[in-house]
Amino acid sequence: MKRSSHLPLGAAVLLGLATVVGCTYQPVMEPMPRADEPLVLPADLPVTLEVLERCTRLVDRAYGVFEWHRLYDREDTAALVEGSERIWSEDLFRSPDFPVGVRLGGGYIEARGRARLPEAFGYAAFDERHVYLVFRGSKTRGDWHENLRDTQTPFVTLNAAGNPRPVVVGDRLPRVHEGFYELHRQMRSAAAALLAETMEQRHEFFPGQGPADLIVIGHSLGAAVATLMAAERAGHREASGVQRVILVTFASPRVGDTVFAVYLDDVLGVEAVRVVNSADLVPDLPTAALQPSALYQHVGTPVLFTRQRGHVAANHAVWLYREAIQDAAERQDAVATPRGLHPTTPGP
């Protein structure tokens, strides 16, 4: 496939992944063979393997929300009321794959794609200790258009009154990926409102519970949006009534420059966990030195593994990330439980 001269560096690799979302592009390269390596959880992370596995299930449902919205929640769909309510409450969030003990928040979060049609990009949920904001990856050509807008723009947050407020770290402005920021800009007010509504639902369902931790979750493009959303919400931590802001991403591309990484990790204190398959191409994009004036750096603590399935799409899939986490949990249980003893059987 011939690369157009106007495409940014790395665009050909991104176009290869478009087969994941049903686009007509074909893969332009296959991944280099690598030996599989197990996932090992670093010490002192803010989440356990159990929480990481739960996060993969939640982000998988974000893709389901997109499909539900496309089929049932358009104004020109006859089944708008009856069908959408049934599928939203029963089929979509009462499946065996949805985490036990997690309850759905007040609704979903929309962005407008390149065709200017609303598309469901994420949703909120809660349990006894956490509130979740969850974002899916690329599903439309409009999403891919935003993926390829990899020039950088200043990260501007909103103040308490909802007005734009530039961020300054020392004497420098954090800069982020223009396409990722555009999606974040479209969704941040709706996400703040949905978070407040979901916090109220949690207080009603779990009366007497203290402040919740906010976990912002995303896969691929959704991981980039989640990173920006975590920065936005951490700047309003007290007003939001959350105790900690934890970011959990799977297959995240680089989102911003070194100043933004310092802002998220050190200034805001976001506890970021970045799960990465080293055979996945997306976490290597955009390249660290895209242009002399556009440097990119990852945020947070990486949790690494290698699973090579012979195709860029399979190496990038949410199910493969869940599989690696589940295998790590099984190894952890095997170490904790001596051979021949049932987990509930007391030791000698």
Can you tell me the distance from the alpha carbon of 138 to that of 143, in angstroms, rounded to the nearest whole number?
Answer: 5
Where is pLDDT greater, at 30 or 216? Answer: 216
Q: In sequence order, which ranges of 114-177 are alpha helices (DSSP H)?
A: 141-147
| Model confidence, pTM | 0.85
Where is pLDDT greater, at 327 or 30? Answer: 327
pLDDT at 4: 33
Give me the mean pLDDT over the 251-256 stretch.
96
Q: In sequence order, which ranges of 175-272 are alpha helices (DSSP H)?
A: 178-205, 221-234, 237-240, 258-262
Give me the mean pLDDT over the 166-191 stretch.
93
Give me the mean pLDDT over the 203-225 stretch.
94
pLDDT of residue 108 exceeding 90, the answer is: no
pLDDT at 33: 62
Chain position carrying tokens 């095997």 = 334
Chain position carrying tokens 């036990």 = 100
pLDDT of residue 256 exceeding 50, the answer is: yes
Residue 76 contacts residue 84 (beta carbons within 8 Å): no
Taking only the tens place, the pLDDT of each residue in 120-139 is 899 999 999 999 999 999 99
Chain position carrying tokens 């105790």 = 243
Mean pLDDT, all residues of the chain: 82
Between strands 156-158 and 164-166, the pairing is antiparallel
Can you tell me the distance from the alpha carbon of 120 to that of 138, in angstroms, rounded to the nearest whole number?
Answer: 11
pLDDT of residue 69 exceeding 70, the answer is: yes
Residue 165 contacts residue 144 (beta carbons within 8 Å): no
CATH topology of domain 34-336: Rossmann fold (3.40.50)
